[in-house]
Chain A
Amino acid sequence: MMTRIDYRALDWKLIGAFLALSLIGIVTIFSAQFYADSAYKQTYFLRQSLWLAIALMAFLAVLHAPQRLFDAGAYTFYGVALVLLVAVLAVGHSRMGASRWFDIGPFSVSPSDLGKVALLLTLSRFFAYTRLPIASKRRLGLSAALALIPMALVLKQPDLGTSLVFMVLLFALWFWSGLSPWYMLLILSPLISLVAAFYWLSWVLYFVVLIAFLGILRPGLLFSIVMMLFNLGFGMITPMIWNHLKDYQKMRILVFLDPGYDPRGAGYQIIQSKIAIGSGGILGKGFLNGSQARLDYLPERHTDFIFSVFGEEFGLLGTLIVIGLFLYIFYRCLGIAVRCRSKFASNVIFGAISIFFFQFIVNIGMTLGLMPVTGLPLPFVSYGGTALLTSWVLVGLIVISEYHQHEY
């Protein structure tokens, strides 16, 4: 069963970049919880190390797996992931009102991470082999359905951040399989209309833009009319729903759309995160010397706000290294995705870096106070076993695809 590979021909620079991020993560988790009041929290870094060991084994397993396993098994993985996502809603372990984890022995496993990989493989396969024309409604509809099912299940947990990742994955692969971004915008325009209609002036302006857009893109008269009607319809629903809501229901929606609406919870974290990163300055306060982290100001400091801890202790020098590593990875993987002859492999690589990219920008944007709090962790660096494991499986897929890049 095991496929032989030549280790010398692997992309060690790329693997090294991923490994560097993972190690930076463990070091920072160690520092983040070094002064924690419970022994359990102090050992988070040990658990993360153990998970990294497991993740690296999974990485090796992917390298040696039969070459067509992920391609042929994509739909099976997808089915299994759906079952797990349903199961976690029923029997999952809940923390803070959300059921997202299975407890297996001392570990918690989150099936939404597995769902990401399964959807990535499924969509990659679907787009690689379907003969439907790129902009055909069936092609777009079927792929959207594949993405929306797991997305809805994750949203039910509820986990808005992760469900957005599924959405991003769908758009990324639509784009990568050749769909014009303008056309994607057009398809999504009724949703934009729904949001724009919250205020009449913005809705009118939006329609001016839409008509101009249709004029430039010229997608056919019938199609344009149908799109306009959809936009009108969706936009008209908004005020109708909104006006029938009670005040408290409106408030719930606002809290849902913008968790920063709650200044004592999420807003507080943002202030503290900005103070942490800003006070790190150019050189940082040094390892284990971050007063913000030590003083307990950052409640989620080993997961969502890990970058703040790192920024405080290692300063601009450190943060530039982390940003640099990520940018190097994105740039290099994009190149591989372009070069890969196998369409499936190319899709997998582009989808994988899209996930990493989205989480990277949302998470770091959040710690810098540039984006709302969504609760998405930083890939490879934040504490989280299943996330690390699935990330390294993706690394395995990227590396082995590059290794076989000349094969179809």
Chain B
Amino acid sequence: MDRYTLSLDSRRRVAQGLIVAAALFILFGLFKLQIIQREEMTQLAENNRIRVVPVEAQRGSMLDREGRIIVSNRPSYTVSVVPAEEVKGRTLNNLSRIIGFDTLQLRKRIRKTQVTPYQPAPVRKDIPFDIVAVLEEQNSEFPGVSYQLDQVRMYDDSLAAEAFTGHVGEVSEQEMAKAVAGMYRMGATIGKKGLEKQYDQPLRGMEGTEFIEVTAFGEILGPYEGREPVQPVAGSDLLLTIDEDVQRTAVESLDSFCCGAVVAIDPRNGEILCMTSDPGFDPNVFSGIVTDSLWQQISNDSTHPLLNRPINGLYPPGSTAKLLTLGAGLESGVIDENTSFKSCGGGYQFGNRYFKCWEKRGHGTTTAIHAVEMSCDVYFYQLGLRVGVDQLSQYYSLCGFSRPTGIDLPNESSGLNPNSKYYDRRYGKNGWTKALVLNNAIGQGEILVTPLQLAQFYAGLANWGKVYRPHVVRGIRKPNGQESLVRPELSFTLPFSTRTLSILREGLRLVTEGGRGTARRLRNELYTVCGKTGTAQNPHGKDHSWFVGFAPIENPEIVVCTIVENAGHGSEVAAPIVGKVIETYMKKKLGIPLQVAQTATLETKP
């Protein structure tokens, strides 16, 4: 026997010792409960009802970059039924008369939300005070019914911010099943979309618990002293990168159109300054219990209010993609900035097809930067042919298209970036011709991008190739005031040299400042601004109108990307919206009051 082993006899003694220790341990527990605490426990068992009442933690607010509240809570009443105290045939009948659910629905709600028969099972949230008053006055009519004061989410609907805030709702059975046991209570509120979903854990805090002693008749005796109440821990606030003024300008200028999106990024760090999707929905309606008919109405709306256009709307980028094609051409060496092609006479013959330029009169012979200035399609058709389908597609990938930007919002779309493999699959080998690249070169055809991806690309152009991951949350503030800030994160670098970037930026400058620029009307005396128009053909109707712009040109601080669906030319519809958003931002920066800005608006030059 060495020191690692134990003789049989010692083992036996160790095991006997364990048995004796266990016996003492359990006998101690039994004596304590059944002899010492017998009286107390008997008392509890007799008038026993310890009601376990969850105490909701206050959900964190969302504040804009200047600390203005965008999402908060308001007090509301929730009606619950304690199943064990319910009188069959009376409680639910009376209750259904005043709160608008029939007894069957009430029964279903109770079954869904009850934890034990002695805990209040919430049946309806956010009920008006006059109903609470009835419950209070005629409480004998409603045996087993109780109500609690708690909180309901409140969104500022005028900000049309649901594109990033998302909304909350009641936890679903699937969500319960996915979470760890004890994470959510049936009937609890949980983030369903947007930031509410992405940051649900910090926002929700931790629910507390109260133990209340009640008699067999439901009379409340007071807190149960045998167990400490668990205090709720309030949720953390989200400090957003959004600027409420910029957001409001975007919403107001988009308001007169049916459908579209605006997103603005600070190219220096990826902070999202505003983001809106039009038409939206009022996220407040989801805070209560969503009835089937309301759900039907929202989800069957032909304008798709539930589609989050900035991150899930998929559109061909139109002429805004010409900068990418030009970058690809310069970078791969197929052209330099002085290269010109066959003159534009309003179109380009390729094989047996004639590809039109948007300008029927033609643009004549141009060089690269002037082709951008005038958005000459014919120039880019010929450039696209030289770059080639696959090389162009590669540049699309390198510029961040066809993959999520990694913004801190759930369920972002990737878009579509076709290459020859894709076309082989789609049309069969040899089932397609090089003519497709002509479309791709001007952002038409099968290429699909989200407004956010396009904004991200232009943020890269504005920031000399460095693309920061777009994000809406600047920091999280715990209830004790402790803030943890999100550090800007370099996402990727555009595949363009500084030289290429300066040529592209010169092209962008000419769009607003050049003599034949397509967005000359954005010029103003306060600051420099540049950008690119886009008009995306749409097989289902009128063209979509794009504009992506940034300012100031020398040291860009804001990139704004706008799409207005079925609205026609980019220069006519989208460009003025971008202009107004940039104007609000720049005026704030320059210290010019915004009210004045609304009337004495931009000096538009011919």
Contacts and interface: CB of A to CB of B under 8 A. Distances in A.
Interface in A144-160: none
A43 B23 CA distance: 33
Given A181-B14, A262-B182, A282-B34, A275 B45 contact: yes
Contacts of A275: 41, 44-45, 48
B6 interface: yes
Chain B interface mostly helix, strand, loop or mixed?
Answer: helix
Given A255-B182, A334-B15, A323 B30 contact: yes
B33 A277 contact: yes
B5 A135 contact: yes
A280 B34 contact: yes
B105 interface: no
A312 B23 CA distance: 20
A276 B50 CA distance: 13
Given A135-B4, A178-B11, A278-B40, A331 B181 contact: no
Contacts of B37: 278
Nearest to B476: A247
Contact of A368 (B18, B23, B26, B201): B26
Contacts of A252: 180, 183
A134 B34 contact: no
B75 interface: no
B115 interface: yes
B117 interface: yes
A331 B16 contact: yes
Interface in A18-36: none
A179 to B, nearest CB: 7
A287 B601 CA distance: 88
Contacts of B5: 134-135, 178-180
Contacts of A276: 45
Nearest to A183: B4
Interface string B33-47: 111011011101110
Nearest to B84: A296
Contacts of B185: 264
A218 B38 CA distance: 51
A357 B19 contact: yes
B116 A299 contact: yes
Contacts, number: 170
B115 A264 contact: yes
B58 to A, nearest CB: 16
B227 interface: yes
A140 to B, nearest CB: 10
A303 to B, nearest CB: 16
A361 B22 contact: yes
A369 B29 contact: yes
Given A316-B30, A368-B30, A281 B180 contact: no
Given A255-B182, A365-B25, A180 B4 contact: yes
B25 A255 contact: no
B107 interface: no
A357 B14 CA distance: 14
A370 B8 CA distance: 32
A274 B41 contact: yes
B226 interface: yes
Contacts of A261: 182
Contacts of A364: 26, 29
A234 interface: no
A179 B4 contact: yes
B410 interface: no
Interface in A323-368: 323, 327, 330-331, 334, 338, 350, 357, 360-361, 364-365, 368
A218 to B, nearest CB: 7
Contacts of A327: 19, 23
B27 A334 contact: no
B27 A97 contact: no
Contacts of B44: 275, 279
B290 interface: no
Interface in B81-117: 84, 115-117
B144 to A, nearest CB: 15
A176 interface: yes
B6 A179 contact: yes
B29 A320 contact: no
Contacts of B40: 278
Contacts of A368: 26, 29-30, 32-33
A292 B26 CA distance: 21
A217 interface: yes
B26 A361 contact: yes
A87 B10 CA distance: 42
B3 interface: yes
Nearest to A269: B116
Contacts of A316: 30-31, 34-35
15 contacts: A134-B4, A178-B5, A246-B201, A264-B54, A268-B52, A271-B50, A274-B33, A274-B41, A278-B33, A279-B38, A297-B118, A334-B15, A361-B22, A364-B26, A368-B33
Interface of B: 2-6, 8, 11-12, 14-16, 18-19, 22-23, 25-27, 29-35, 37-38, 40-42, 44-46, 48, 50, 52, 54, 84, 115-119, 177, 180-183, 185, 200-202, 206, 209, 211, 226-227, 230
The 8 lowest CB-CB distance pairs between A and B, nearest first, are A278-B41, A248-B201, A262-B182, A368-B29, A135-B4, A279-B45, A278-B33, A279-B41
Interface of A: 96-97, 134-135, 175-176, 178-181, 183, 217-219, 246-248, 251-252, 255-256, 259, 261-268, 271-272, 274-282, 291-292, 295-297, 299, 311-312, 315-316, 319-320, 323, 327, 330-331, 334, 338, 350, 357, 360-361, 364-365, 368-370
